[in-house]
Chains A and B, each alone.
Chain A
Amino acid sequence: MMTKHNAITWILLMALTVIAGLVSTASIPYMIPIVLLLAILKFVGVTFNFMEMRKANLFWKVLILGYVIIFCGIILVLQ
């Protein structure tokens, strides 16, 4: 059951990775926010599913989500 859950997560991560690669090579508006959003989704996929943070105390969930959102937010503002 758990390996099936991991497999679904892996398929989604692969799809997000391919989309990020395609978006970056296409001349589309909002390319940078889209790429950063995809990075956040992959980051959450790995931490919450592969690292099982979904089972952790709320404090750790907020900390990890807060980190990646603040990081991508700063990158977006600087860009």
Chain B
Amino acid sequence: MSKTQIDYKNLYYPPGGILIWIIIFIELITFGIALITMVYYGEQEPILFRDSRLQLNVTFGTINTVLLLTSGFFMANTVHELKQESIPKAKKHLLATMLFGVLFLVLKGIEYDSKIDEELLLSTNTFFTFYWMLTLFHVLHVIVGLIILVAVFFGMLKENSIPKMEDVEAGAAFWHMCDLIWLLLFPVIYLIF
């Protein structure tokens, strides 16, 4: 583990690095614009959006929020343990991070399966077009995040391998970005219409 002291107060070195934060802001703005557009369309067809929203399972959405935030908690612990050079603990926390990420995907799969059974598809109405597009795009980010975490994990398994703290923090920042996007998607899609 390279134990270089990073000065986070430096404008060009936010935690995770400036490049990942540029990506995070691009992603947040993209999802933000899409969600604002959804709410705008919701104002044009309020009854349809309300009726459609009521067909979503808020309990599933809430549990998914819990799963992602718990995963984020373990990710934060992973970074902390790596900074302490405690690799075994970091590995355990990283495994827990991935486990909760996979559980999120499993529950999302169950939710999608029930929507397909009920024939609430992409083409059903405007609400479900937004629902499928936004949540699937988010799921895609979670899958990419998991691939990054698996790569970090295998990097830790190698003996004599020295994972760079900046790389681990960048991977962690991407994973937390999935939390952030979900924290915006959940209230808009599942709660407010």
A residues in contact (CB < 8 Å) with B = 2-3, 6-7, 9-10, 13-14, 17-18, 20-21, 24-25, 31-32, 35-36, 38-39, 42-43, 46-47, 49-53, 55-57, 59-60, 63, 67, 71, 74-75, 78-79
Contact = CB atoms under 8 A, between A and B. Distances in A.
Interface of B: 8-11, 14-16, 21, 25, 28-29, 32, 35-36, 39-40, 42-43, 58-59, 62, 65-66, 69-70, 72-73, 75-77, 79-81, 172-173, 176, 179-180, 183-184, 186-188, 190-192
Contacts of A39: 183-184, 186-187
A57 B191 contact: no
What are the nearest 3 A-B pairs in CB distance?
A10-B73, A24-B191, A50-B76
A9 B73 contact: yes
A3 B32 contact: no
Contacts of B179: 46, 50
A55 B192 contact: no
Contacts of B11: 57, 59-60
Nearest to A40: B183
B3 to A, nearest CB: 16
13 contacts: A6-B80, A9-B76, A17-B69, A25-B58, A39-B186, A50-B176, A51-B15, A51-B172, A53-B15, A60-B21, A63-B25, A75-B39, A78-B39
Given A6-B77, A46-B72, A50-B76, A20 B32 contact: no
